[in-house]
């Protein structure tokens, strides 16, 4: 999942950079930085087309998704709806509101309708965070913060590709059970006043999901089936079950289609339910002792990750028993109580994690599966902790390599490229990199990265460069590198040089105002820059208008600003 989020973020980066340049003049009351999470999740869960927005998407993103993923609800309450409003206006003004979208007026009207509900949802999160901070000052077994330094020090964690993860997720037995339970629930099932289901319904549900009826001597049946309620909660997390009103619940129409055909849909569902790891924590007759052991399943996962992905159950028991005792005066009693009631305090966490496809048990050795590694990396990410996780080299696409490289120190980036190159011939590598560079004509950073890496392959990249001459966004780089390799008839034109300059300005604009102005000064004195602006507007670069507008606003020399605005007028007049 992480690699898909990274790919979506890389896809959106150039568009968001344009929006950041556009917003100060056209939407001065908005904070463009706040739109990023909403736009990212719109791409991940609502639309394959980043420019296609519908009214229903706004509800899905702002009311269904943001409360689960937003990092600063206070900041979001103050400005996210305003930022989304500005972003939609930007898409419409720049012709990027795609066919199939609702009209801008309808979208803005829907935002107005949702705004109060969104703010209320954020305020509830603020209240919950305040309560959590009061109650959890000392942390818990599942608190990952104490492991921050150890997680940062881990060697690079390699994640498997989405296709492999999706194949594994389709086989997760707990999701299949949650599906079966949701299908049994059906449409508009009325929930009981004291328990979700009546006793006869509980017995039916147990049979549907393959659980035995427990011995209920001296205990109400509803209190003796915690695993059934965990499956019910998982079905809700997976969005297989949804409330219809205050006292009825229905199965979602798509539930019967699980396991879904589309890998992305499969992983989206699996990730929705991944936080169910907490359902693996032991439940004891004594509520105080149960609370002491809350977070045990997460604690087990992080220790597996720190151990390189596998560890003996005996070592985990000793470590976690000690952690429970150190955490709370009741820790020893809680561990002993879990051992007496369950046989093994780690039994429920291990069974739930096995059922969710995150661990495998071989004798006494517990191992993280690829899904488990993906999941715990996501939990670490959620905790705002750093861990170096990247796609596995053998599964890394050219686009992923290009997206990761700029964020790495030069030596590490070179090592990644060398390892990736070792799995393919240089000519094929060059073709893959250049093909990845044309996936989005607006992504200047990916394009420059590709040109740099392919340029390091020398003569073996010539066939790929010659093919790239036919690609408008790569022609400038192809002609430049072929000329450097003394290939006849490949001298770059002035327009090629200007294209490369515009790419560099696009990248620097995304780094901030100071870096952008510095890149303008690199051209030379103001007079030289003005001469360039008089002609560069003719280049059909995807960012030329935004860049000219930004130069007019940012350059300290008023004459340069005037020339940039004049060039912008000419560029717009040529549409």
* 359: helix, strand or coil: strand
User: Of the given ranges (73-82, 126-135, 233-242, 454-463), which has the lowest mean pLDDT?
Assistant: 126-135
Same-domain check for residues 89 and 173? no
Q: How far apart are CA 177 and CA 496, in angstroms?
A: 59
Please provide residue 265's backbone torsions phi and psi, each rounded to the nearest 5 degrees. -65, -40
pLDDT value at residue 541:
94
CA 275 to chain CA centroid, Å, is: 15
Same-domain check for residues 517 and 553? yes
pLDDT value at residue 430:
96
* 293: helix, strand or coil: coil
Which of 524, 520, 494 has its CA nearest to residue 505?
520
Same-domain check for residues 488 and 502? no
Is 123 a domain residue? yes
Of the three residues 465, 492, 519, the one that is the final residue of a domain is 492
Instruction: Give the strand pairing for 241-243 and 248-251.
Output: antiparallel
Same-domain check for residues 198 and 297? yes
Same-domain check for residues 126 and 154? no
Could you tell me the maximum CA-CA distance found in the chain, to the nearest angstrom? 91
pLDDT band at 132 (very low <50, low <70, confident <90, very high): very low
Q: What is the pTM of this model?
A: 0.68
pLDDT value at residue 129:
63
Same-domain check for residues 171 and 25? no
Report, as an integer, the average pLDDT of 101-123: 91
Is 140 a domain residue? no
Contact in structure between 431 and 465 (CB atoms under 8 Å): no
| Structure confidence by residue, pLDDT tens digits, 333-349 | 999 999 999 999 999 99
Report, as an integer, the average pLDDT of 242-256: 87
Report, as an integer, the average pLDDT of 57-63: 89
Is 558 a domain residue? yes
| Structure confidence by residue, pLDDT tens digits, 470-504 | 999 999 999 999 999 998 777 899 999 999 999 99
Report, as an integer, the average pLDDT of 551-567: 94
Contact in structure between 552 and 529 (CB atoms under 8 Å): no
Is 449 a domain residue? yes
Same-domain check for residues 342 and 196? yes
Same-domain check for residues 226 and 192? yes
Is 138 a domain residue? no
pLDDT band at 524 (very low <50, low <70, confident <90, very high): very high
Mean pLDDT taken over the chain: 90
pLDDT for 196 beyond 90 = no
Same-domain check for residues 453 and 549? no
Of the three residues 350, 377, 392, the one that is the final residue of a domain is 392
Higher-confidence residue of 133 and 341: namely 341
Same-domain check for residues 425 and 503? no
pLDDT value at residue 7:
62
Q: How far apart are CA 16 and CA 22, in angstroms?
A: 10
Report, as an integer, the average pLDDT of 264-284: 93
User: Radius of gyration of the chain from Cα atoms?
Assistant: 28
Is 137 a domain residue? no
Report, as an integer, the average pLDDT of 317-323: 96
Please provide residue 368's backbone torsions phi and psi, each rounded to the nearest 5 degrees. -75, 135
Is 139 a domain residue? no
| Cβ count near 68 (within 10 Å) | 12
Query: How many folded domains does the chain comprise?
Result: 4
Higher-confidence residue of 123 and 2: namely 123
Same-domain check for residues 369 and 459? no
Higher-confidence residue of 457 and 70: namely 457
pLDDT value at residue 278:
93
User: Of the given ranges (29-33, 119-123, 419-423), which has the lowest mean pLDDT?
Assistant: 29-33
pLDDT value at residue 133:
44
| Structure confidence by residue, pLDDT tens digits, 4-38 | 566 667 678 778 878 887 888 888 888 888 998 99
Report, as an integer, the average pLDDT of 186-209: 90
Type and span of the H or E element at 268: helix 263-274
Number of C-alpha atoms within 13 angstroms, CB side, residue 25? 13
Same-domain check for residues 168 and 76? no
Q: How far apart are CA 256 and CA 183, in angstroms?
A: 7
Residues 6+ apart with CB under 8 A from 238: 175, 178, 179, 269, 272, 273
Of the three residues 109, 131, 153, the one that is the final residue of a domain is 131
Contact in structure between 437 and 477 (CB atoms under 8 Å): no
Q: Domain range holding 487?
A: 398-492
Instruction: Give the strand pairing for 241-243 and 189-190.
Output: unpaired
Q: How far apart are CA 270 and CA 276, in angstroms?
A: 10
Contact in structure between 6 and 20 (CB atoms under 8 Å): no
Is 136 a domain residue? no
pLDDT value at residue 426:
95
Report, as an integer, the average pLDDT of 429-440: 94
């Amino acid at each position: 999942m992480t690699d898909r989020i990274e790919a979506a973020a890389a896809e959106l980066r150039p568009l968001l950079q344009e929006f950041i340049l556009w917003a100060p003049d056209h939407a001065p009351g908005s904070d463009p930085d706040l739109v990023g999470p909403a736009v990212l999740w719109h791409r991940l869960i609502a639309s394959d087309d980043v420019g296609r927005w519908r009214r229903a998407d706004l509800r899905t993103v702002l009311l269904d998704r943001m409360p689960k993923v937003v990092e600063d609800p206070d900041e979001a309450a103050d400005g996210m709806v305003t930022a989304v409003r500005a972003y939609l206006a930007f898409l419409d003004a720049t012709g990027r509101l795609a066919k199939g979208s609702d009209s801008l007026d309808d979208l803005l009207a829907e935002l107005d309708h949702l705004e109060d509900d969104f703010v209320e949802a954020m305020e509830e999160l603020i209240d919950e965070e305040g309560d959590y901070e009061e109650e959890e000052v000392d942390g818990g077994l599942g608190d990952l913060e104490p492991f921050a330094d150890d997680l940062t020090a881990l060697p690079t964690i390699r994640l498997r590709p989405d296709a492999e993860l999706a194949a594994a997720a389709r086989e997760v037995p707990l999701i299949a059970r949650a599906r079966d339970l949701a299908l049994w629930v059906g449409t508009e099932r009325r929930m009981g006043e004291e328990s979700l289901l009546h006793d006869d319904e509980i017995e039916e549900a147990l049979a549907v999901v393959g659980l035995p009826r427990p011995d209920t001597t001296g205990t109400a049946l509803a209190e003796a089936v915690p695993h059934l309620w965990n499956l019910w909660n998982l079905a809700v997390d997976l969005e297989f079950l949804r409330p219809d009103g205050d006292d009825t619940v229905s199965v979602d129409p798509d539930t019967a289609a699980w396991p879904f055909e589309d890998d992305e849909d499969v992983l989206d569902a699996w990730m929705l339910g991944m936080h169910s790891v907490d359902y693996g924590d032991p439940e004891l007759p004594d509520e105080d002792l149960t609370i002491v052991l809350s977070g045990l399943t997460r604690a087990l996962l992080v220790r597996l990750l720190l151990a390189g992905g596998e560890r003996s159950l005996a070592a985990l028991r000793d470590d976690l028993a000690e952690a429970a005792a150190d955490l709370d005066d009741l820790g020893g009693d809680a561990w002993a109580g879990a051992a007496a009631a369950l046989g093994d305090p780690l039994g429920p966490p291990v069974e739930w994690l096995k059922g969710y496809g995150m661990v495998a048990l071989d004798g006494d050795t517990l191992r993280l599966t690829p899904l488990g590694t993906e999941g715990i990396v996501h939990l670490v990410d959620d905790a705002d902790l750093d861990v170096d996780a990247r796609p596995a080299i053998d599964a890394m696409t050219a686009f992923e390599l290009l997206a990761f490289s700029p964020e790495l120190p030069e030596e590490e980036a070179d090592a990644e490229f060398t390892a990736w190159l070792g799995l393919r011939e240089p000519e094929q590598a060059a073709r893959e990199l250049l093909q990845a560079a044309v996936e989005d004509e607006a992504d200047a950073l990916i394009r420059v990265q590709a040109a740099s890496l392919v340029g390091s392959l020398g003569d073996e990249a010539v066939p790929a460069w010659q093919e790239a001459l036919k690609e408008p966004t790569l022609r400038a780089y192809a002609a430049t590198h072929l000329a450097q390799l003394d290939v006849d008839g490949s001298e770059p034109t002035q327009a090629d040089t200007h294209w490369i300059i515009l790419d560099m300005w696009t990248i620097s604009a995304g780094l901030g105002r100071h870096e952008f102005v510095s890149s303008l000064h690199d051209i030379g004195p103001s007079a030289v820059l003005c001469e360039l602006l008089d002609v560069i507007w003719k280049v059909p670069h995807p960012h030329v208008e935004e860049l000219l507008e930004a130069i007019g606003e940012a350059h300290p020399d008023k004459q340069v600003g005037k020339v940039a605005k004049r060039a912008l007028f000419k560029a717009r007049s040529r549409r």
